[in-house]
Amino acid sequence: MKAFWGGQFLSYLVKLGDVDEELLALVAGKYISEDLLKYLKYTYDLKLYPIINREVVGLSEVMIQANVSQKVSLFDIYYAFNEYPILIVRDVVEQRKAIIDMVVPRGSGEYIKSLEYGLKMGIFQSYNIYSVSDKVLYPPDFSMFDFEENFFKVGTSDKRVGIKVNDTLLDIIPDIEDVTLIGLKQTKGKITLKDMAEITGLPFEEVRRHWQEHCSLIVSGYRINLKLQDKIMVNLLIPEGEISDEITKIPILTTATFTRNGMVWLKFTAQAKNIYEYLNMINKAIKDVDTEFEIYLSPTHPQYEYNFTASIPYTRYLGNRKWRYDLEKSRAYLDSLHEKLAIRN
């Protein structure tokens, strides 16, 4: 029963999250939702991270492919860009290769000045910037997940329809409280409305009102994080026109990030015990690709060494869709990092 209902229930969580327990109980059934939520949180350390419609909060998104000094940690990259990166992955084989997924204040090019300064300091050896046009969430096909053995069985799903992150234009101007609550949920995947009220000092009813009336509209879906054995993130960069329906049938596909110059970044959540079979499946799905593509393999352990995720920089939000990017602080961090690397050498 856990396996059957667990997969179905997780598909609800991808769309609804776990913050509004009343809505979740209405859709899934009160006792089913209470029972399975406890089971998944206890057994699999379930965490849910909201993915937002970035346009509504005044952010754009860029993907940066960079060659980075191996002595530079993912934390260093995060702070070098003033805490604006939301995902950084490094290839376990070619450790100079990194992808930086970053939100930036709409219309601002300050982050490019940080990049250029880092290039001058020798932190970055080279980089390419891609403007993100769209992002699609593909809820993992949990009908393929073995809840007893804790791994995804190898096989194909039916063609899946993703959830477009920026699909809806909303006439909402989020206030600081809205963005803070979303940022807290992105930081702490298990946090509840009561926890948010305690952290912010806002009355519980006020927190609930903000979430139900504003935050729930800004959130497009939720990224599910389960404690899986030997998790390895597979990142595939490929021309958009080369994507086939076969790719969407791979049950561990989680996200497709599209860029304005025609590239797409596909993310898969594999495990050591199934990665060979799934890499073979990915290879077969793109076997007719005539142009070059790249694969980055990023284990989640050791923690933060090859894979780093973060919330939007909610403490930088000024209200009215305006954000603060502190270029001076960014350059100061790059200076200190340059000195630290010089000492190591």
> At 72, which amino acid appears?
V
Segments of 106-156 assigned E as strands: 124-137, 145-146, 151-152
Neighbours of 335 (CB within 10 A): 12
The predicted model gives 141-157 an average pLDDT of 81
Residue 18 scores a pLDDT above 50: yes
> At 42, which amino acid appears?
Y
- pLDDT per position as a tens digit, 255-314: 999 999 888 999 999 999 999 999 998 888 887 666 678 899 999 999 899 999 999 999
pLDDT category of residue 161 using cuts at 50, 70 and 90 = confident
pLDDT category of residue 172 using cuts at 50, 70 and 90 = confident
pLDDT category of residue 150 using cuts at 50, 70 and 90 = confident
pLDDT attached to residue 160: 77
Residue 327 scores a pLDDT above 90: yes
First-last CA distance in the chain: 57
pLDDT attached to residue 17: 87
pLDDT attached to residue 12: 80
Give the pair of three-digit tokens for residue 34.
Answer: 């209470």
pLDDT attached to residue 169: 63
pLDDT attached to residue 167: 59
pLDDT attached to residue 227: 86
Mean of pLDDT over the chain:
88
pLDDT attached to residue 340: 87
Q: Residue 250 in contact with residue 268, Cβ under 8 Å? A: yes
pLDDT attached to residue 148: 81
pLDDT attached to residue 142: 78
- pLDDT per position as a tens digit, 84-129: 999 999 999 999 999 999 999 999 999 999 999 999 999 999 999 9
- pLDDT per position as a tens digit, 44-77: 898 999 999 998 999 999 999 999 998 999 999 9
pLDDT attached to residue 289: 65
Neighbours of 137 (CB within 10 A): 21
Q: Residue 236 in contact with residue 244, Cβ under 8 Å? A: no
Highest mean pLDDT among 44-53, 77-86, 227-236: 77-86
pLDDT category of residue 321 using cuts at 50, 70 and 90 = very high
d(CA 304, CA 63): 19
Tell which wins on pLDDT, 77 or 19: 77
Which phi and psi (to 5°) does residue 191 adopt? -65, 145
pLDDT attached to residue 116: 97
> At 129, which amino acid appears?
I
> At 29, which amino acid appears?
G
**96: helix, coil or strand?**
coil
- pLDDT per position as a tens digit, 30-40: 656 677 788 88
